[in-house]
């Protein structure tokens, strides 16, 4: 079982998906340029940079953590590799249903406490944080991370993935988009005139990163989802200078506080949509009080870019599973698949369904657009029939071209939940208010019975051709087909 990042690296190497970069590389753009260029390939391995210019041997950086690999997502979640994205999404859904609270262990047993630095010893520049792209405002230590905060009202602990720019030896930026959990927590503490305690965790078990970058309900801790997925509670210990529960097996943890109203200039940063969308702005920061780190620590990174190499596939699969679960929890029948396309990051979701009643497709589109898992940022919600694989974009485009009549089948939702990082809205103050297009690319329900018949094979003919494939010397293997002309004999 994987318990920490080092187990994960070992297992990734065993499945042949780890590349060690042994030669020295520069933290100043060179490291992330390699990550970006390698990450363009759908087969990109995880990259372990073993020697960083200006840093002691042993101080390493791991990029492309799950990357574009469905195998590494499955490994992270402890799921045996499955043949298709939709099947993996279904497996993830099963694991979301279990929740196991974290298990508190004595701090002496937490491996991250091999080094505990307090007071003047606190210096975050001791870690090889990269400058990711040329116009970044500084070095970003926090990208593939989890940031832990507590809700002062109910004690709920949130784990969220938010960026951290190094501002000083003992200060890092704390940029969180409107409506995200840590921002709501921070505002609640500040309203009480109190600082918000924060822990920034790097080099965590990638499972924590997987749950940290998802939208779960604001009342259930991501620790519980991670425990449920793993099948056992995550080991945590009580913080040294905060009352937060911290993951015992992480590589690096920074503990500190965010003071009411105090800000520093942060950014710009090469953001997840692939733009420097937000200029340098006054942003809350975390004043660091304590550093915990393992010997020879490994910093995890996820530089963003036009293809968002570090996290796109994990984001896609975890998010698809959450939206599907949300639809099921509301009680909508007939959902056959959900796919939040990796290239669009948060931007495009396709849902396939068996239309069971009038208005079913537009109900599903509106709910997928506004449920917990899907509300943030998504701009395009496309609903297709059950014979269309939502993870196959060519098939989805076919449905858009043949089952959607734009004048009737597109609805727009306005003033929806978005982020300052969306470059399409100007001036930038407008950006947190987005819009969504709900596209019905299903056969017209009113005329379902008489809708032009789709050309399909008879099943017995398909089976016969498959069995003769080699004899006929046809190339490769026959493609899988699951939908046949009705009434065909088996």
Ligand X SMILES: Cc1cc2nc3c(=O)[nH]c(=O)nc-3n(C[C@H](O)[C@H](O)[C@H](O)COP(=O)(O)O)c2cc1C
Asked whether position 214 contacts ligand X by CB under 6 A, the answer is: yes
Q: Binding to ligand X (CB under 6 A): which residues in 365-384?
A: 376
Q: Which is nearer to ligand X, 32 or 311 (CB)?
A: 311
The pair of structure tokens assigned to 398 is 């076919």
**What 8-state DSSP symbol labels residue 309?**
T
Q: Which is nearer to ligand X, 5 or 396 (CB)?
A: 5
Asked whether position 223 contacts ligand X by CB under 6 A, the answer is: no
For residues 315 and 340, the answer to whether their CB atoms sit within 8 Å is yes
For residues 439 and 381, the answer to whether their CB atoms sit within 8 Å is yes
Q: Which is nearer to ligand X, 185 or 403 (CB)?
A: 185
For residues 271 and 304, the answer to whether their CB atoms sit within 8 Å is yes
Burial of 244 (0-12, 13-18, 19+ CB in 10 A): buried
Asked whether position 132 contacts ligand X by CB under 6 A, the answer is: no
Q: Which is nearer to ligand X, 22 or 40 (CB)?
A: 40
Q: Binding to ligand X (CB under 6 A): which residues in 263-302?
A: 302
Dihedral (C-alpha) 402, 408, 413, 414: value to the nearest 10 degrees? 120
The pair of structure tokens assigned to 34 is 């390699």
Q: Which is nearer to ligand X, 242 or 352 (CB)?
A: 242
Taking alpha carbons only, the member of 113, 65, 62 closest to residue 247 is 113
The pair of structure tokens assigned to 67 is 């990357």
Q: Which is nearer to ligand X, 162 or 462 (CB)?
A: 162
In the three-class reduction of DSSP (H, G, I as helix; E, B as strand; rest coil), residue 112 is classed as helix
Asked whether position 161 contacts ligand X by CB under 6 A, the answer is: yes
For residues 193 and 260, the answer to whether their CB atoms sit within 8 Å is yes
Binding mask 435-474 for ligand X (x = CB under 6 A): ----------------------------------------
What is d(CA 105, CA 235) in angstroms, rounded to the nearest whole number? 6
Q: Which of 95, 139, 180, 249 is in the footprint of ligand X by CB under 6 A?
A: 180
Q: Which of 38, 61, 73, 176 is in the footprint of ligand X by CB under 6 A?
A: 176
Q: Which of 76, 215, 309, 416 is in the footprint of ligand X by CB under 6 A?
A: 215
Q: Which is nearer to ligand X, 70 or 117 (CB)?
A: 70
Asked whether position 137 contacts ligand X by CB under 6 A, the answer is: no
From the CB of 141, what's the least distance to ligand X, in Å?
Answer: 12
Which segment (121-129, 161-169, 280-288, 327-335) binds ligand X by CB under 6 A?
161-169
Asked whether position 144 contacts ligand X by CB under 6 A, the answer is: yes
Concatenate the DSSP letters of all residues of 265-309 into one string: EE-----TTSS--S-SEEEEEEEEEEEEE-SS-EEE-----TT-T
What is d(CA 437, CA 380) in angstroms, rounded to the nearest whole number? 5
CB atoms within 10 A of CB 110: 22
Q: Which of 69, 177, 378, 418 is in the footprint of ligand X by CB under 6 A?
A: 177
Q: Which is nearer to ligand X, 88 or 316 (CB)?
A: 316
- Could you give the residue ranges of the DSSP H alpha helices within 335-434? 360-370, 393-403, 406-409
Which segment (21-29, 36-44, 175-183, 383-391) binds ligand X by CB under 6 A?
175-183
Omega before residue 268 within 30° of 0, cis? yes
What is d(CA 121, CA 107) in angstroms, rounded to the nearest whole number? 20
Q: Which is nearer to ligand X, 273 or 337 (CB)?
A: 273
What is d(CA 243, CA 197) in angstroms, rounded to the nearest whole number? 8
Q: Which is nearer to ligand X, 49 or 462 (CB)?
A: 49
- Could you give the residue ranges of the DSSP H alpha helices within 97-248? 181-191, 206-212, 222-230
From the CB of 216, what's the least distance to ligand X, in Å?
Answer: 7
Q: Which of 175, 202, 417, 462 is in the footprint of ligand X by CB under 6 A?
A: 175
Q: Which is nearer to ligand X, 71 or 372 (CB)?
A: 372
CA triple 165-170-173, angle to 5 deg: 25
Q: Which is nearer to ligand X, 184 or 483 (CB)?
A: 184
Asked whether position 416 contacts ligand X by CB under 6 A, the answer is: no
The pair of structure tokens assigned to 100 is 């196991």
Binding mask 20-59 for ligand X (x = CB under 6 A): ----------------------------------------
From the CB of 158, what's the least distance to ligand X, in Å?
Answer: 5
Question: Distances in Å between the alpha carbon of 16 and those of 46, 79, 328?
Answer: 10, 17, 37
Q: Which is nearer to ligand X, 276 or 376 (CB)?
A: 376
From the CB of 63, what's the least distance to ligand X, in Å?
Answer: 11
The pair of structure tokens assigned to 97 is 């249903």
Asked whether position 420 contacts ligand X by CB under 6 A, the answer is: no
From the CB of 372, what's the least distance to ligand X, in Å?
Answer: 9
From the CB of 150, what's the least distance to ligand X, in Å?
Answer: 12
β-pairing, 335-340 with 235-238?
A: unpaired
Asked whether position 213 contacts ligand X by CB under 6 A, the answer is: yes
What is d(CA 380, CA 383) in angstroms, rounded to the nearest whole number? 10
Q: Binding to ligand X (CB under 6 A): which residues in 300-359?
A: 302, 310-311, 315
Q: Bridge-partner residues for 116, per DSSP? A: 292
What's phi and psi for 386, nearest 5 deg? Answer: -70, -15
Binding positions for ligand X, rule: CB under 6 A: 143-144, 158, 160-163, 175-177, 180-182, 213-215, 302, 310-311, 315, 376
């Amino acid at each position: 079982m994987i318990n920490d990042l080092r187990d994960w690296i070992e297992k990734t190497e065993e499945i042949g998906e780890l590349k060690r970069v042994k030669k020295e590389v520069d933290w100043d753009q060179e490291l992330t340029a390699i990550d970006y260029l390698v990450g363009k390939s759908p087969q990109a391995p995880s990259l372990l940079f073993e020697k960083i210019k200006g840093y002691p041997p042993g101080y390493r950086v791991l990029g492309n953590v799950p990357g574009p690999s469905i195998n590494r997502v499955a490994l992270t979640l402890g799921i045996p590799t499955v043949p298709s994205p939709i099947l993996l999404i279904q497996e993830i859904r099963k694991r979301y249903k279990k929740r196991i609270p974290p298990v508190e262990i004595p701090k002496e047993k937490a491996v991250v406490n091999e080094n505990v630095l307090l007071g003047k010893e606190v210096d975050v520049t001791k870690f090889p944080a990269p400058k990711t792209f040329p116009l970044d405002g500084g070095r970003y230590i926090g990208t593939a991370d989890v940031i832990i905060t507590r809700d002062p009202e109910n004690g709920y602990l949130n784990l969220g993935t938010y960026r951290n720019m190094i501002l000083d030896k003992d200060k890092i930026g704390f940029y969180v988009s409107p409506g995200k959990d840590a921002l709501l927590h921070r505002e609640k503490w500040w309203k009480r005139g109190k600082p918000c305690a924060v822990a920034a965790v790097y080099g965590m078990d990638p499972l924590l990163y997987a749950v940290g970058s998802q939208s779960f309900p604001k009342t259930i801790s991501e620790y519980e989802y991670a425990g449920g997925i793993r099948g056992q509670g995550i080991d945590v210990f009580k913080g040294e200078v905060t009352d937060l529960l911290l993951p015992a097996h992480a590589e690096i943890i920074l503990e500190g506080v965010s003071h009411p109203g105090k800000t520093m200039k942060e950014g710009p940063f090469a953001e997840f949509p692939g733009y420097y969308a937000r200029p340098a702005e006054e942003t809350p920061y975390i004043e660091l009080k304590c550093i915990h780190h393992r010997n020879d620590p490994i910093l995890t990174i996820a530089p963003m870019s036009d293809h968002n190499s570090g996290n796109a596939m994990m984001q896609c699969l975890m998010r698809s599973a959450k939206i599907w679960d949300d639809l099921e929890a509301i009680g909508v029948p007939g959902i056959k698949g959900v796919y939040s396309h990796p290239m669009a990051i948060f931007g495009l979701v396709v849902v396939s369904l068996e239309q069971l009643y009038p208005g079913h497709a537009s109900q599903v589109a509106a709910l997928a657009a506004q449920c917990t898992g899907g509300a943030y940022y998504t701009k395009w919600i496309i609903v297709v029939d059950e014979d269309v694989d939502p993870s196959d974009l060519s098939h989805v485009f076919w449905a858009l071209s043949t089952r959607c009549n734009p004048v009737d089948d597109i609805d727009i939702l306005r003033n929806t939940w978005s982020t300052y990082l969306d470059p399409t809205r100007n001036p930038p103050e407008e950006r947190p208010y987005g819009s969504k297009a709900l596209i019905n690319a299903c056969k017209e329900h009113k005329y379902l019975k008489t809708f032009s018949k789709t050309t399909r094979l008879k099943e017995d003919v398909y089976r016969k051709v498959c069995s003769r494939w080699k004899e006929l010397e046809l190339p490769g293997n026959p493609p899988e087909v699951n939908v046949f002309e009705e009434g065909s004999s088996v």
